[in-house]
Structure 1
Amino acid sequence: MDDSDHEQVPYRWSDKDLILSIAVQPRASGNALVGIHGAFIKVRLTAPPVEGKANQLLIKQLAKWFGVPTARIEIAQGETAKRKIVRIQHPQKLPAFIKKP
């Protein structure tokens, strides 16, 4: 049996909102939306994971990458973890590895 159709995808659509499973690499040399790594979308951030700085930068960068205001991005789970679930309301831009519903 071929399991390729049942691969775990690190994102899903909820109506027009995009739900992402993200793995954050803080204190990186640059900010980058790396791509899919296993069950997560890898994001590199220059900010350290202290006092919410990495979360603030994550929201700012996701807003830029997905073409939305920061108010339309919510960290739904993983506020203090490297692995997070993030909701983006009505993204206007999508990276090539994310397919529209």
Structure 2
Amino acid sequence: MIKESKEGVILQIYVQPKAKRTEIDGVDEWRKRLKVKVKAPPVEGKANKEIVKFFSKLLGAEISLIKGETSREKDLLIRGVSIEEVKKKLEIYR
């Protein structure tokens, strides 16, 4: 779910588009990913942009989508914060 890499911290998420609002919805134990509901539809990258914006604001860091552009399972690269900081900020959702 959260891994360290040479470039930064990798956060693995599972996305549910077209939700009432954008929010973290716990952990998908089967997939071992953080569940994220996204208000935007999965059209023309709108949901991906909203995810990047949401996590940038939440974590106060530079976020980029590195895997899963057209999939519900996505990997985000977080730069500028340590793995401990990411875990601490996401702890309430576990």
TM interval, shorter chain, is: 0.7 to 0.9
Decide which structure has the larger Cα Rg and report it. 1
The answer for the alignment partner of 2:50 in structure 1 is: 57
Q: CA deviation at 1:36?
A: 1.8
Say whether 1:90 aligns with 2:80: yes
For 1:42 and 1:90, locate their aligned partners in 2 and report how far apart those are by CA, in whole Å: 23
Deviations 1:56-76 (A, max 9, x none): 1000001011112xxx21111
The structure where helix makes up a greater share of residues is 2
Structure 2: runs of 5+ lacking an equivalent = none
The answer for the alignment partner of 2:13 in structure 1 is: 22
Structure 1: runs of 5+ lacking an equivalent = 1-9
How high is the sequence identity, in percent, across the aligned residues? 34
The number of equivalent residue pairs is: 86
Task: Please report the TM-score for the alignment, with normalisation by the length of structure 1.
Answer: 0.75
Matched AA of 2:53 = K
Runs of 4+ aligned structure 1 residues displaced above 4 Å come to none
Aligned alpha-carbon RMSD (Å) = 2.0
